[in-house]
Structure formats: structure tokens, C-alpha cells
Structure 1
């Protein structure tokens, strides 16, 4: 589906626009362009300019019609959204008025069997959002049993991660695991489910996708990049779809919006100055009408904040979970 298709309505569009509040002549970064729904809506405000970023070449190609329609107000860049500050600088922009992120896999990617994201469609076990790097099949073939269990537990929150890892290692001794159906069948024989439960492979597929694309590290680095590039009064709006993502966004906004640090006992400790002011104390969620029309919206949570005049905070160390490069080189 091209970005110009009127059939694509992104999740929480009305709420995103309310929090982003695009203004005439403003400059915005759509950090996860996808099918271009947020960009299209922002461009409806006259004089706005949008920098659309996506690591998926298919998404960028699908947005060419919208670039033409926008008459020079939309620029598309194939890159990781964690690089959004550098991308903005390369476009000659010292600062922007707003950044919006829709985190995770897109419905377009899930619906393409050849991308290997979905256990419901048989295809190559790929799961890469970009066009380079190790695939999910590479990880399944290379990672040790303990590494696989750790990946599936941490990124999929799968209680049966050890059993799934054991089953994968046993199966790959018999034949390479190269398709989504093969992996889904292995997991389904290990994780028992009752009628009405999610598919038993759901959490394992989520874990591999997050791991292969380094999504949680990308998200933290993208939030920090947005902090650096937003001008005072600029707005950051983030839509996430599961607890791991939302926790990172929630913690980022909490850390960046709180005050404190100094005291009368330790006056030399610098007072922390908030770099953001919260616009949403609690996450916004989809109403019944939207969830009925788009079941994916059920798990969406929107958090937003407005940039203060304070300097950006120092980057935080990344979490100590497994990393793709370490697994692929054998530890």
C-alpha cells in the first residue's frame, strides 16, 4: 500500500495530532514513516515540512507518491530512527518543532509473508526491518541454547523460554529452521495453549523480531536523539504496542521531567533541570470504535511531552541484555 492511499489510518491518529499540535510553517520528524499516515496528516497543516524516516526500503518506496503530492514539503530518508538528530542536521535543520514515533513492526510488514514477521503466513524466517544484517533464521541457527532462552524470555516475556530454546536446538540438529511455519510448529509443540489464548508462538516471534532489529536499544537512542533536536516548546509523541517499549518511554519521560538532585546537605550536587514537561500523565489509549475497526489498536499506548529550555540530559547507558553482534560472533 502506498503512503498516499486513503485506506491507511494509523493508530491513534486523532490523539497524535492533538498532542503534536502541528502549526503552520512547523518542521516535524515522522521517525517511523511506515505507510505515511502521520506524515500525511501533519502535511494537511499548511506550510509544514516533514522529514520521514524508515529503515524499511519498501516503506520509503511506497511514500514516493506522497512526496510528489507534498510539493517539496516531505523528505524521505532510509535510515534507523535512532539517527534522527543526525538526519535532521544533514537536512540543514538545527532544531525541529515535533517528533512522532510509532514503535514496533507495522501492519504492512506483518502482512507480507516474504518478510517473515508473522507465524500466520508461511515465509522465510527473516524479520529484518532493514535490508542488511543477520536474520531471525541466522539467530535461530547460531545462538546457543542458553542465549536463545535468554532472548525469548527477556524480549518475549515467554515463561516457557527454556523449553522453547531446547526444542529449537533439538530441531535444528535434524534440519535447518528457515521458515516461519517451521519455527511456529516447533514452538506450538512446546507451549501449550487453551482456546482463546494467543498463538503459542506469539511471544517467541516477538522476541526474535525485537532482538534481530535491536528495537529496544533503537528506541532509547531515538528518544535521546529527539531530546537533542527538539526546540523549546517542541513536542515528542510516542505510540508503543507492548509493555517493554512502553516501559522505556515511560521511564524516559519520568527521568526527563522530574526535578531534584541538589540538597542542603550536598549543595555541590547539581540540581537536575527537567528537559521535558509531561503532556500525558497517563498513556492515552484507543476508544472502542477504533479498536473495533483496527484490533491492533487495542494494545497501543500514547505518551507525549513538551521540550523545555533546559539542556539535553546525558545519554543513559543501554540495558545489559543480549546483543545481536555478540550472539552472531559466538559470544
Structure 2
């Protein structure tokens, strides 16, 4: 019998068709690798040098309004530009490039410089969810846009260039690689069974109850069976909807509560502001209707053993296939153990 907690094994990612190597016996090895200093996360209520704080000037000279909740603007240094000409470059079928149009926006989650999602009130997070929905609707009206990626990089280790709590939206003219892979797997399953792939997966996970972290009226948070990152999680809507635009007021409030609880649990693991990259995956827009798509949100955090020990894809993972030591079940158990009261409130 295959013992998940003892034997090396591969697990298949239902959303991409790819595999991750799990080596549970390696979690017992002593750590003599890189140990980093813990960066203080104590920040002021307002920082006069922050480009995102209310009333401050951004890097390009634009002045922010004196906003009191959330604030949205087109990124001053966008990775994609709306006026990019439509061109294709090809040389002998060996050197190929295509132009890419897009619109990139920044969302300051709060006017306060010192808050992150786990420390915000549910109502404040609900306002962010409202902005996600509103901006999705606005961007989808551009007929040339095919995909809208809503995401957040939290922490400098995840490439966040400004500590003020914020997320981003990149809308683009082509559907990106990871979304294409997930779309193909979900469409294939739906065409065969006339049911949502994630809906059936969620029903099985709820039945087994081995990797479930949060289960409320409208959403479930779990460590996916195929998780790659140490404490990777997946938020899945219980109702089969294709985009954030489909959520009702009750669902948006429940999503806000879910995001608050999950991120509090993250912070409480190592008593630190837990870094991660997180983002929604949803159906492309302005193309064929994809009934098989099921809204979900990924969280990819790099912390492994403590606030000072991180895990990124290196060596074998970059050259061969992703690999992890702690199992998804072990990660789920630790997340479930965490309090839903933020650790700072007990200091």
C-alpha cells in the first residue's frame, strides 16, 4: 500500500495535468541552509515617502487623492500598454515574437500604510472585493481584452515593490499560459461529464475532510492534493460560477470573511506577516463561452520551516519537475491548528 506520509510519490494536478514529486521522508532532514533575518513589519499609519499613501505624489509625479478606503489607478509603470501596435515577428520559424496589448491597474486596499488583509476589517475587505468585481466589468467591455488577472504579491520576498497594502489587475489581449492549461483541463472534464471539474473535486475533498481548512456558506479553502508550495491553498466557490462578476452580495461578503480568516491563519503559523502570491483564475472574456470554467483563487506562500526559512523552485524543480517535502495533509493540519484571531491582538 502506498503510504503518503512515508513513500516518495507523484501527485497529479487536476487543473494542469502536470505532476509534483512528494518526498515526505525528506522533511526529517536537518536544515543548514539559508536562514534570513526577520524583517520588521511594523509600519506607520501613514508614510510621507510612500507612493500609495493618500495625498502623496507617485513616482511619475501624479498626486494621489485623499482617499479614505480603497483607491484604483492605472499603473505608472505598466507591464502592458493599451496602445501597443499589433505586430508579429518571425525569422525562419526559429525566432518568433508577438506584440501584446494590455491595461495594468493598481488597487490600494486601504488608506492605511500599516494594514494588510488579515488586519483589515471584513467590511474593508468586502470593499476590495467590490472593486475587483467593478474593475472586471469595466475592463471586460474592451472587446480586444481576452483575460483579466486579479492578483496580489505580499511581501518583498515575493517581489512586492511597495509595502503599502495593494494588489493588481492585468487585463490583456491574449490568454496567458497557465490559464490556457487550466481551461483545457476543465473544458475536457465538463464536455465528458457535463459537470464542473472543481465542483466534483470539491465534493470529494469535503467527503474525505483531510485537507479542508475553511468551509463556510459559499466558499471552501483547502490545501490541494497536488500542492507544490509548502502551505499552498486553493479557494473554491461552492456555486459553479465562471468569474468574479457572477458573485452575489452574500457571496462577496463571504469571500471577504474567507480571505480574512485564511490570511490570519497564515500570519499565525510563524507569527509574522506571511508573504505570498495570490490570484484568481477565472474564465477568459470576449470569446467563446466556457461553461466548464469554475472560479477559484490560488495562494502560493514560500515560507517552509519558520519566518526565516523559505522555499523556492530550484535545481531539480527547475530542471525536471516540482518537488515538495511536507505533504499536503501535513500542511493542512498545521493550518487548521491556527487561531482565527490575529497573533498581534495577543501581544
TM over 0.5: no
Q: Could you say which structure has the higher strand fraction? A: 2
Q: Which has the bigger relative contact order, CA under 8 A and spacing at least 6?
A: 2
Question: What is the TM-score of this pair, normalised by structure 1?
Answer: 0.25
- TM-score w.r.t. the length of structure 2 is 0.25
More helix by share: 1
